[in-house]
């Protein structure tokens, strides 16, 4: 038996179990992308067969249920062949930039407690740090160097950096992680790079456009706590109205396979820092993750190894694992009229659902859905608060390519071009619903029947 035959035998033996009718696919519980990888020697042909799916902003097709249960892993700069990835150059640049940004975040966070001036408060009373500005400047410079014609839509501008005397700190953080050997940048270059993604950086119109969408740190409230709360660097590329790739780096993600909720994992004070993950998705090529430990030097160096992710396969609304914003009460959601909630998996009773809360931000919830850790994420629209595109763009494609679905509470696709001028705001009806796909239509019906906030 040669290597290929032996590898195929191991793949068959691992994923198929004998039954009275023949063989059935084996499905591990939860954490669907965090499984033991198969040998890379058997992957190239199979990846091309099993990961290609059609992408559309009108509808994302779901993979065959049997295919969704297979697990693939490969060691490469990208997890799939470039011949299948039309935007592989952009994705390679995005992965490198986000990895550098995550390293910047870890370095800034480690000095956060001893440098109070690094945290300031914006007009909406949300915190912002040197890392927020540093990440935006770094990605603006790195992406602008390789793709100067593609504009950037991002959260921050340089006004706070200037007014809070953070120019030197932001400049030092950016230069330490730049890919430029001799670092030709000046503080003025860094400030200009931040503003390239700011509100006045680009103006669009009614026509389809191509642009990057960046959330430098989604979950800054968790970031400033200095603990293991989740935060995410999220980057997506939109071309002619379609999200074609997404990259999310989460330095504090816990890789251990566990039936514990994310909040339980975070509360374990004796747990060492998470090695973190980076999650990537490309239209038609699936969703993949790899560990960040080799980049962040948090643990021993590990070779690059990508593992494909899939959403979970829960089909029963009452058996699903739910996620909402940590600041929200379950009672503020329409389904609370049908179910009470509990955060303890050991004490669920009839009429209750399991609620997995985690801090902070929304992009970490997209990672949880795409990796199968939770079945769905619900977010309601806050009165007098506009929903931002960068809080969702990278997560949307990662969930879709993992087999899930994202719409507003009416079941309509998220329209990234609704804000024609700036492409910064989105206007979902009622809220945003992120699911494994199986539960989606039923949940839309239940929300519509139990909510007065869902309206045209």
3-class SS at 342? strand
Residue 94: alpha-carbon gap to chain centroid: 13
The CB-side HSE value for 72 (13 A sphere, CA atoms) comes to 25
CA distance 441 to 452: 18
Number of H helices, E strands in the chain: 14, 20
Catalytic annotation present for 132: yes
Q: Is 176 exposed, middle or buried (0-12, 13-18, 19+ CB in 10 A)?
A: middle
Residue with tokens 């009839």: 350
340 catalytic, yes or no?
Answer: no
Catalytic residue among 129, 132, 307, 435: 132
Start-to-end Cα distance in the chain = 62
Task: Calculate the CA 119 to chain-centre distance.
Answer: 24
Please give the Cα distance from 377 to 10 (Å, whole number): 35
d(CA 46, CA 395): 26
211 by DSSP, 3-state: which? strand
Q: In what order do the strands lie in the sheet with 73-74?
A: 73-74, 306-309, 286-291, 277-282, 242-250, 232-239, 210-218, 152-154
Residue tagged active-site, from 129, 157, 220, 289: 220
Helix (H, G, I), strand (E, B) or coil at 309: strand
DSSP sequence for 419-451: STTTS-EE--SSEEEEE-STTHHHHHHHHHHT-
Q: What is the 3-state secondary structure (H, E, C) of 273-298?
A: CCCCEEEEEECCCEEEEEECHHHHCC
Going 343 to 344 to 345 to 351, the CA torsion angle's sign is negative
Q: Helix, strand or coil for residue 225?
A: coil
d(CA 400, CA 253): 21
d(CA 60, CA 407): 11
Helix%, strand%, coil% for the chain, nearest 5: 35, 20, 45
Separation CA 408–CA 429 (nearest Å): 6
Which of the residues are catalytic?
Answer: 132, 220
């Amino acid at each position: 038996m040669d290597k290929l035959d032996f590898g195929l035998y191991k793949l068959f033996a691992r994923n198929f179990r004998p039954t009275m009718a023949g063989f059935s696919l084996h499905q591990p519980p939860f954490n669907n992308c965090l499984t033991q990888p198969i040998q890379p020697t058997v992957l190239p042909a199979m990846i091309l067969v099993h990961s290609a799916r059609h992408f559309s902003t009108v509808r994302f097709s779901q993979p065959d249920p049997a295919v969704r249960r297979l697990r693939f892993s490969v060691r490469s700069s990208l997890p799939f062949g470039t011949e299948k990835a039309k935007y592989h150059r952009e994705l390679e640049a995005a992965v490198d930039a986000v990895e550098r940004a995550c390293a910047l975040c870890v370095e800034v966070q480690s000095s956060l407690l001893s440098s109070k001036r690094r945290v300031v408060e914006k007009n909406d009373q949300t915190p912002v740090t040197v890392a927020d500005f540093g990440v935006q400047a770094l990605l603006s410079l790195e992406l602008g160097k390789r793709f100067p014609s593609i504009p950037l839509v991002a959260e921050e501008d340089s006004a706070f950096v200037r007014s809070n005397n953070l120019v030197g700190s932001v400049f030092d953080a950016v230069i330490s992680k730049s890919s430029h050997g001799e670092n030709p940048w000046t503080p003025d270059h860094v400030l200009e790079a931040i503003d390239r993604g700011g509100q006045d950086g680009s103006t669009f119109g009614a026509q389809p456009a191509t642009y990057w969408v960046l959330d430098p740190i989604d979950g800054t409230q968790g970031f400033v706590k200095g603990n293991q709360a989740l935060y995410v660097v999220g980057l997506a590329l939109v071309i002619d109205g379609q999200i074609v790739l997404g990259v999310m780096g989460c330095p504090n993600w816990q890789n251990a396979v566990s039936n514990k909720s994310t909040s339980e994992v975070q509360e374990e004070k004796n747990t060492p820092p998470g090695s973190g993950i980076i999650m990537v998705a490309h239209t038609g090529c699936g969703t993949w993750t790899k560990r960040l430990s080799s980049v962040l030097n948090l643990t021993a160096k590990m070779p690059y190894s990508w593992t494909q992710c899939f959403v979970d396969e829960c089909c029963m609304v009452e058996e699903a694992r739910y996620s909402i914003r940590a600041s929200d009460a379950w009672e503020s959601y329409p389904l609370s009229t049908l179910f009470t909630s509990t955060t303890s998996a050991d004490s669920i009773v009839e009429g209750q659902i399991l609620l997995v809360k985690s801090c902070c931000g929304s992009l970490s919830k997209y990672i949880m859905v795409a990796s199968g850790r939770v079945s769905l994420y619900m977010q309601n629209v806050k009165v007098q608060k506009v929903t931002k595109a960068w809080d969702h763009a990278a997560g949307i494609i990662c969930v879709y390519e993992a087999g899930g679905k994202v719409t507003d509470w009416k079941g309509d696709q998220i329209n990234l071009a609704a804000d024609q001028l700036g492409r910064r705001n989105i206007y979902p009806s009622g809220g945003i619903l992120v699911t494994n796909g199986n539960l989606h239509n039923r949940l839309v019906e239940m929300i519509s029947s139990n909510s007065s906030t869902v309206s045209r």
